[in-house]
Structure 1
């Protein structure tokens, strides 16, 4: 395999699982990050090269130049795989020039960003007839009255640009219970230079969250797909997957496949849905346009998304495949799931018995691997260091 795979982002388990998925298939993997501190994916035995690049936030042009310089020295175009939203945004902004040096599935510059942006995504979904939560834009003079009339309280204040919001507030959104809290939340976001929208909360516990995970080939057709159901997330109620199971839900294919094909998406993406507990309607919540948190689950269930991407882009695509049965495998990010469980028990959303029974399922671990244990121990050392700093303050 003369084409290398360049994996952007090695300080999180998404990059680690991507490196493992490719390395186990004999692909030469190149891990890239802006620091060697806490980059535990670098410690995987499947990481063939480790590169420290300029920090994309401080020197975006230097980062792009670094990528181009590396690719220009290779005998064949590397496959470029971003494992964080910030890397996706940078690639999208420079897509046309990077495609001269790298194999990248997407061909339309700006489409990644349009689907990541909550406001433009809501309009695209609406135009295609896919339900989204009722939304009010705060730049309208009577937005408070609209919230009273259309959405009511409690409701959520969501950023249009999630990566920037999470970097600032360390959470995905604000939940507000009344008009004053809404005004305060919008004020905080605007003070940070961030745009937000207000949305209705779709009724239902966290296990009403579902995903449609799919790969679209260069003809824009869905060739590989799987559906999943969240059981727990962190922070609880409005967070990222920490305990999610593969679950065959054909209705999500019926919604998700036409959506991706109509917008012309190419490569891997994930639609996150919430099923209304009262009506049964699936509402599109957001889209991830890069390898997802529970990539280890998708792989263990039978779809190696990074390798599917690699094979198609290097001219030797794998045959179409879908997971059309329940495997009873769950993704488990144990560290944050323990924090989530504490929150669910404290708020009486779950009982100890419910938690205990759920943990008996077969696991796809986020970090631990019997065949590649070193990243896990590096992660544990990182956690010890963080807690030591906190206790010394």
Structure 2
């Protein structure tokens, strides 16, 4: 295989999963990081090469030039695989330059960013007749009246640009219970120069969160897909998946494939839905336009998304496949699930008995793999070191 796979970001388990998915198939994998620190994914035995680049945010132009110079030195165009939203934004901002030197699924500049942008996503969805939570922009006329009569409290304040918001506030959103809290949050985000929307909370516990995970070929047709149900998130209620189970829900395919194909999307995407516990309707919450948190679960079920991407872009597509049975296999990120469980129990949302029952399913782990133990060992050492620092600071 002449084409290398360049993976952006191995300081998180998504990058580690991409390395394993490609390395097990004999693909030359290249990890690109801006630091040696805490990059446990780079310890994988499936990693072929590692390079340290300038920081993608602190010196974006140097980061872009670094990647382009690297591609120019190769015998064939590398396949570029971002594993974090911030990398996706950079690729979109310098799309034409990257497209000249790398193989990327998308062909329309700016589409990734449009789908990540909560305001644009809402308009996309409404045009296609997809249900989205009621939303009010902070600059709209009669803002307070609309919040009181349409949105109602409690409600959530969400960013339009998630990566920048998360980098600033270390959280995905704010939940507010009255106008005093709402105004306080709006003052914070205004001071930070960020744009937000106010949105109704769709009723239902965390297990009412579902995903449609799909790969679309260069004709923008869904060729590989499965559906999943979230059980626990961290931070609880509005966080990332820490315990998710594969469950076949054909209705999500009908909704999700129609939406992604209509946007002209190419490559892997994950649509996150919430099912209204009162009406049973599915509401579109967000779209992830890069490899997802529970990629390893998808891989263990027979859909190797990074390799499917690699094969199509290098001219040798994989046969279409869908998971159309319920396997009940779970993705489990043990460390953050432990933190989530503590908060679920503390707030009375789950009992210890409820939680214990879930651990008996077959699992796909976020980090640990007996065949590739070094990343897990390195990650454990990293956690122990952080805990020790906190203890000694006291």
The bucket for the TM-score relative to the shorter chain is over 0.9
The 5-angstrom pairing of residues 1-393 of structure 1 reads 1-393=1-393
SS in 2 for 1:99: helix
CA distance in 1, matches of 2:113, 2:377: 35
CA distance in 2, matches of 1:190, 1:361: 45
CA distance in 2, matches of 1:141, 1:195: 16
CA distance in 2, matches of 1:45, 1:362: 25
CA distance in 2, matches of 1:381, 1:192: 35
CA distance in 2, matches of 1:158, 1:69: 37
Q: How far has the Cα of 1:193 moved from its partner? A: 1.1
Q: How far has the Cα of 1:388 moved from its partner? A: 2.1
SS in 2 for 1:277: coil
SS in 2 for 1:164: helix
Normalising to structure 2: TM-score of the pair? Answer: 0.99
Structure 2 unaligned residues grouped into runs of 5+: none
CA distance in 2, matches of 1:2, 1:108: 26
Normalising to structure 1: TM-score of the pair? Answer: 0.99
Residue correspondences, number: 393
SS in 1 for 2:81: strand
CA distance in 1, matches of 2:345, 2:127: 41
Q: How far has the Cα of 1:141 moved from its partner? A: 4.1
Instruction: Output one character per residue of 1:5-64: Cα deviation in whole Å (capped at 9) or x when no partner.
Output: 000011000000000000000000000010010000110000100110000111111001
CA distance in 2, matches of 1:392, 1:184: 35
CA distance in 1, matches of 2:377, 2:141: 53
CA distance in 2, matches of 1:22, 1:100: 23
Q: How far has the Cα of 1:328 moved from its partner? A: 1.3
CA distance in 2, matches of 1:343, 1:249: 29
CA distance in 2, matches of 1:339, 1:197: 28
CA distance in 2, matches of 1:286, 1:340: 21
CA distance in 2, matches of 1:305, 1:46: 16
Q: How far has the Cα of 1:389 moved from its partner? A: 2.2
Q: How far has the Cα of 1:302 moved from its partner? A: 1.1
CA distance in 1, matches of 2:272, 2:165: 19
SS in 1 for 2:100: coil
CA distance in 2, matches of 1:187, 1:378: 41
CA distance in 1, matches of 2:160, 2:242: 23
SS in 2 for 1:342: helix
CA distance in 2, matches of 1:143, 1:110: 30
CA distance in 1, matches of 2:146, 2:187: 18
Q: How far has the Cα of 1:392 moved from its partner? A: 2.8
CA distance in 2, matches of 1:244, 1:190: 35
CA distance in 1, matches of 2:203, 2:77: 47
SS in 2 for 1:243: strand
CA RMSD of aligned residues (A): 0.7
